[in-house]
């Protein structure tokens, strides 16, 4: 599917705030790819699609998972918004006809991360956190600078800040968020 068509479809399916965020992530991801010798077009497409399932009702996300045998963990059942990443990856393939496995993984892992992410997965995870429209999280300006210097250091900083935020707000962790953090604390800066 042509990028212009994808963008039009997303504009219809997302609310205006989410659509603006989507464009922010797409162009931030593309700039990070340019900086780190990755493929800017691939990053643009992955960023464009990363939240494609974000504005769908929880019931619909759960129904899609059940129908297509996408496993739902206990924490995802309790916090179905977490499913927008996996469902988004599914829709990117089925409705937007994206078949690049790296792009589909980047969409699926953009909320919790996962151990041993590819460079594109890191770029999408980081771009989602730092796009210009994101409201100021503590340490955001540090992350924005770091992201153009060293993806792994930026990633680790975001993981740290996210876990701290979830802890402070008493929000339950998805085990994958913890697993990702543990992995990058040990292996992140090799």
Q: Where are the alpha helices (H) located in the chain, listed in sequence order? A: 3-13, 16-35, 40-49, 58-67, 74-78, 84-94, 101-108, 119-130, 140-147, 151-168, 175-187
The listed partner (ligand DGI, Fe ion, none) that binds 112, CB under 5 to 8 Å by sort, is ligand DGI
128: contact with Fe ion by CB under 5 A: yes
Single out the residue of 146, 174, 181, 184 in contact with ligand DGI (rule: CB under 6 A). Answer: 174
d(CA 47, CA 43): 6
Using CB atoms within 10 A of its CB, is residue 59 exposed (0-12), middle (13-18) or buried (19+)?
Answer: exposed
Taking the complex as a whole, how short is the minimal distance between the CB of residue 177 and ligand DGI, in angstroms? 3
Residue 174's binding partner out of Fe ion, ligand DGI, none, with CB under 5 to 8 Å set by partner kind = ligand DGI
For the segment 80-119, give every residue that binds ligand DGI (CB under 6 A).
110-112
3-state secondary structure 121-167: HHHHHHHHHHCCCCCCCCCHHHHHHHHCCCHHHHHHHHHHHHHHHHH
Contacts (CB under 6 A) with ligand DGI, residues 60-79: 79
51 near Fe ion, rule: CB under 5 A: yes
Of 86 and 110, CB closest to ligand DGI: 110
Candidate residues 39, 76, 121, 128; the one interacting with ligand DGI per rule CB under 6 A: 128
Q: Is 122 in the site for ligand DGI (CB under 6 A)?
A: no
Q: Which stretch binds Fe ion (CB under 5 A): 9-17, 124-132, 150-158, 174-182?
A: 124-132
Asked whether the beta carbons of 128 and 158 are under 8 A apart, the reply is no
Closest CA to 54 of 75, 85, 76, 25: 85
At its nearest, how many Å lie between Fe ion and the CB of residue 79?
A: 13
Residues in contact with Fe ion by CB under 5 A are: 51, 128
């Amino acid at each position: 599917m042509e990028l212009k068509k994808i963008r039009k479809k997303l504009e219809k399916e997302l609310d205006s705030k989410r659509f603006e965020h989507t464009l922010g992530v797409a162009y931030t991801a593309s700039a990070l790819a340019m900086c780190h010798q990755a493929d800017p077009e691939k990053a643009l497409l992955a960023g464009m699609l990363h939240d494609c399932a974000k504005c769908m009702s929880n019931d619909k996300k759960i129904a899609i998972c059940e129908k297509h045998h996408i496993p739902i963990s206990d924490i995802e059942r309790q916090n179905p918004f977490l499913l927008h990443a996996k469902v988004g990856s599914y829709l990117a393939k089925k409705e937007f006809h994206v078949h690049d496995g790296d792009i589909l993984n980047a969409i699926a892992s953009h909320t919790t991360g996962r151990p041993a992410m590819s460079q594109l997965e890191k770029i999408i995870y980081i771009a989602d956190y730092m796009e210009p429209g994101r409201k100021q999280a503590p340490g955001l300006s540090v992350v924005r600078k770091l992201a153009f210097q060293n993806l792994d250091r930026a990633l680790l900083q975001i993981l740290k800040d996210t876990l701290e935020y979830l802890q402070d707000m008493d929000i339950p962790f998805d085990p994958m968020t913890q697993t990702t953090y543990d992995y990058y604390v040990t292996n992140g800066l090799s």
